[in-house]
Structure 1
């Protein structure tokens, strides 16, 4: 099908024209009261198209009018996928919230006046084109009736019906062009205000941050559990000792159970399940569980804790737990059961955490990290602190400083 004929097959083309015709309804209603539609003169037509302007402008002062016009515009100018057009619904660029400022009311008033005048023009063009087509159609057998038609019609002739497609084609072209112009005007005049755009941007940012946080939670918790399970299973197979195997299975069971609790909590958040309270997120007070899990995997963990961990604010303590978890996971995954030194200090309004481990012989210390170490740095930055990861004096170090304020 030729490209220029494609719009004629879309329902949205005709709903846009109907939307404009409906806009002239207030002009027709007022015309019945004054000056009337009984053979109106040119000046009468000017009164018909200008008299309702103060009425529609005053209607724009009602905040709900913007919502009503936005809903109509979304439905008829951009109906959505069922009309084979893209960008419907929330992505249409047309707001459906009530007016919240005088700027919103002013833009709504301009839209109503534009819709009024465009509707009157659309009605006039429609009547003229259909009148011309009907006059030509009847002009084959008798002189065409030219009353009310601005375009001069030819005299009686058998060829007149062959000219009928011309006014209809003109009307269809105007339908397509005017509909697109009205849609663009609706996006401009009924589109989101700066405050609405800012609110939408803030909401989108919150959603992205929440998604990033959930992704980090799953990465840290599930990654740690899987790493411990793999290391423990490999060590148990190599040891071939029933007692060691029992301890390894206990460690795998405990770590897996904690990971399942984290997974259930995250899924409950994603489902927005309010029937059951979400399980408590672990904090640094639960750090001993991580250290025991690392020791059960064969790592020799030397721990030193100074300062009151219970005084650490909840957000800092929870994120600190995840950073420690990822640090120990990184040790087990890349270095295996090597000596690890963990230092946690709370002093002077700062939480200082340092995790250092020996690098196995032949392991390249590039200083680059994967998503886990990048997540540690991102968590620290969001809390106003800083984190450094990389080789230090022949060892691998993760050093985190977080403000408690």
Structure 2
């Protein structure tokens, strides 16, 4: 029994009830014109149910109708944020315009279902409430107070006990039919295959963008912090004021560049629409090489080919790869000799970074860190490849990108 009374305490029972009754407004409005609502015969009820159907199917052809019906279904057929019993799951109702004839057909079936279910529930509501009113009249001594579904004979206070029964039956019927309508809404107003594919593409683009932002932050801020730590340690160990001044200047320049990168990434995250500024490209590789040299590393660079003519996406990603490679050298090997080779050959860009391995090789330096994984991901997205591994006493990173 408590389970049967539970719908009485749920607000969604009454919003679903109202949603279904609203669907009967159009059929009853048409019935007032023809065949009339003055004691209609069974044939008249058939006409009341059938006459509005062409209008509903015609309205379903309008693309915005699906959007409006989806909003109504979300609002009235499912528990909202303030419901006593709520759920955080997505109701699975689409709120977009019809994009195909399949969407229009499903919307048409939904409108027909709303009309017919609304008529049935409106009639049931009228009859059961009338019966409750008749029971109340009989208990008060006036059994002719209403024309009920079941004739009430005589008058007696016992009828007062029967008065709530039709109301409870009506609420249970409304709750059951509302639950069925919610299931039908998921099937008929739910996202189509095309909408699911579009949503999947949107989420994939978001994940790619988030991964790209994570790589940007890791590369730029990781590079700046690594250089700052290495340079500060070298300045403290050197005890030379001139060297300390150069190290502080390099830390300042590196930190300023990292702040610019951070501001640009934050503009993307906030979606302000403001220009995000120019990202550094490989033709600015000298800045990275100078930063590594200022940290004590002896960098021997060989550059062949016009870097300024590289496609901008390739040039920007190659800059980040070189930045991460130099950062890894300073982080894991310290200020050691580093060989950098950048070559633009016909339709390929080849980047190689070589450095001697330290006595104790960290696990991250052997491929387990996020930096090398980020380099490989960037290369794959550009249609190239990146390889890193030990070659004797050296560690080599080789990147091959198509132009």
Instruction: State how far apart, in whole Å, the 1-side matches of 2:342 and 2:115 are.
Output: 71
SS at match of 1:139: helix
Structure 1 equivalent of residue 109 of structure 2? 110
Mapping of residues 221-240 of structure 1, within 5 Å = 221-240=220-239
Matched, 1:298 2:270: no
What's the TM-score once normalised by structure 2's chain length?
Answer: 0.93
How far apart are the structure 2 equivalents of 1:58 and 1:273? Answer: 42
Task: Find the aligned partners of 2:22 and 2:77 in 1 and give their Cα distance.
Answer: 13
Q: Is 1:77 the counterpart of 2:74 in the alignment?
A: no
Taking structure 1 as reference, are residues 235 and 14 closer, same or farther at Cα in structure 2, changes over 3 Å only? same
Alignment equivalent of 1:341, drawn from 331, 336, 339: 339
Counterpart in 1 of 2:371?
Answer: 372
SS of 1:196's equivalent in the other structure is: helix
Give 1:302 deviation, angstroms. Answer: 1.2
CA distance in 1, matches of 2:8, 2:289: 70
Q: Offset of 1:182 from its aligned partner?
A: 1.1
Q: Say if 1:78 and 1:87, in contact at 8 Å, map to a contact too.
A: no
| 2:249 aligned partner | 250
Whether the aligned pair in 1 keeps the contact of 2:137 and 2:143 (CA below 8 Å) is yes
Alpha carbons 1:284, 1:321 under 8 Å: kept:
yes
The alpha carbon displacement at 1:298 in A equals 1.0
Report if the CA contact (8 A) 1:131-1:149 is conserved: yes
Number of the residue aligned with 1:42:
42
| Alpha-carbon offset, residue 103 of structure 1 | 1.0
Counterpart of 2:16 in structure 1 is 16
Greater CA drift, 346-355 or 152-161: 152-161
Q: What's the offset of the Cα at 1:152?
A: 5.7
SS in 2 for 1:303: strand
The answer (yes or no) to whether the contact 1:146–1:152 under 8 Å persists in 2 is no
Q: Structure 1-normalised TM-score? A: 0.93
Range moving further from structure 2, 17-26 or 301-310: 301-310
SS of 1:80 mapped into structure 2 = coil
Between 148-157 and 355-364, report the one with greater CA deviation.
148-157
Instruction: Give 1:171 deviation, angstroms.
Output: 1.4
In structure 2, what is the Cα distance between the partners aligned to 1:390 and 1:133? 84
> 2:330 — aligned with what?
332
Q: Structure 1 residues 368 and 7, CA, compared in 2 at 3 Å: closer, same or farther?
A: farther
- 1:216 offset after TM fit, Å? 0.7
Distance (Å, rounded) in 2 between the aligned partners of 1:216 and 1:32: 67
Relative distance call for 1:7 and 1:338 in structure 2 (3 A) is: farther
Summarize the alignment of residues 110-129 of structure 1 with structure 2, pairs less than 5 Å apart: 110-129=109-128
Question: What is the CA-CA distance between 1:334 and the residue it aligns to?
Answer: 1.1
Aligned residues: 401
Provide the C-alpha distance between the structure 2 equivalents of 1:152 and 1:41, rounded to a whole number of angstroms: 19
- Inter-partner Cα distance in structure 1 for 2:40 and 2:362: 92
Contact 2:133/2:146 (CA < 8 Å) preserved in 1? no
- How big is each residue's C-alpha offset from its partner over 1:34-75, in whole Å with a ceiling of 9 and x where there is no partner? 111111112211221122112211221222222222222222
Residues 367 and 373 of structure 2 are in contact (CA less than 8 Å); yes or no, is this contact kept in structure 1? no
Residue pair 1:303, 1:343 contacting (<8 A) in 2 also = yes
CA distance in 1, matches of 2:58, 2:273: 45
Summarize the Cα distance change of 1:361–1:44 in structure 2 as closer, same or farther, 3 Å threshold: same
Cα distance in 2 for residues equivalent to 1:152 and 1:181 = 31
The corresponding residue for 1:166 is 165
- 1:201 maps to which residue? 200
Aligned to 1:68: 68
Looking at structure 1, the residues matched to 299 and 40 of structure 2 have their Cα atoms a distance apart, in angstroms, of 97
SS state at 2:98 partner: coil
Q: 1:308 aligns with which of 306, 311, 331?
A: 306
Partner of 2:395: 396
RMSD across aligned C-alpha pairs, in angstroms? 2.2
Q: CA deviation at 1:253?
A: 0.8
Q: Which residue of structure 1 lines up, in the alignment, with residue 268 of structure 2?
A: 269
